[in-house]
Structure 1
């Protein structure tokens, strides 16, 4: 059975793995999901990721036994795309979280997209 929304599937797998206190998980590979994993590592939400054949292996990160990711929200969906301009990129949880935007410069974290003055499709929010 084909997955209709691969990014939402990845976010759900991460949410479920944190909820079950797993140390790592595997998701099917794509360029967008690899970019999202890179942003999550760069921002400190996951410990590491590695691309192996057709899968991405993600190592989760905990602080004092509690997950660093407390919430994941898919904003733009296949049935309803959400586009934002550079000035309309939202602050997530009053600056505590991040948003991920697919721009013409690639997949960027919201603050970096705003800094580069580019907008695009608002993929998800993470806090």
Structure 2
């Protein structure tokens, strides 16, 4: 599955508002679908890059030998799920999925992002 196909599949998750594949070393979005006036995916990609970097620095400082699977941010009306893809061909990538909280099933969304991420990791 290519990047566009993976992003399209992520948008089929119930409640999906927007999705992006992001390189967290550069902060650049490699592709995105959805978003809109209330969700600028380019801005979200850059901002969530900082979240991921901060978490990675914290783990290193704590000396934890752990791997981040995903990061969840809950807003009053949305869920934002960041799924790290550690085996993405040496890259530092994550999938970012924004969901309408009133329509989303968070457990299912996390499961689907894990499955889609596995395709991207190859």
Q: When you count helix as a share of all residues, which structure comes out higher?
A: 2
Q: Higher relative contact order at CA 8 Å, sep ≥6: structure 1 or structure 2?
A: 2
User: Highest Rg: 1 or 2?
Assistant: 1
TM over 0.5: no
